[in-house]
Structure 1
């Protein structure tokens, strides 16, 4: 899987947009889904330890979306130009936790 990611994003451009999808087949155009882990080549489902039902969550990332103020839907204003927006760090938290200072919360999946 990581080989596929590297082939799709072969350069050193920063990640400019990140989102979460419930269905890896519905990753938006311009994004690539991270469906396998790099270290163990296992399913990268963020909710694979879930107890109720079979909900899944996968990270999608882009090195082109978000540039020039474009964004994926939502009710908020478009983001500032890409010079101000690159993904520097990502942390995964429990759905009941608050994000650490300086982090933005992704409140919902981009495919629902």
Structure 2
């Protein structure tokens, strides 16, 4: 579970991260990552109705929250992350690993 301080909450926070951040797309998700100076690192999730019914969407959100919370603690810099789940939700863990690695490498080099 992400602490309240570790969550993106407002539409403006989501919008800023998605517009100014690095984007990495995979078949089951799109990851937007923005480097910040404000601790702690924060995450937000977007799971539309196209993913499935309420049970399916909540399951996907819980899975993503669990996977992202484990990674936020090990990033060497502060960042904001938005994870958008796509209707093809098979292999979320592998896609998140791949996108996370690519995005953090891009942010570290810039």
TM score, norm. by length of structure 2: 0.28
Structure with greater proportional helix content: 2
Higher relative contact order at CA 8 Å, sep ≥6: structure 1 or structure 2?
A: 2
Larger Rg: 1
Structure with greater proportional strand content: 2
TM score, norm. by length of structure 1: 0.27
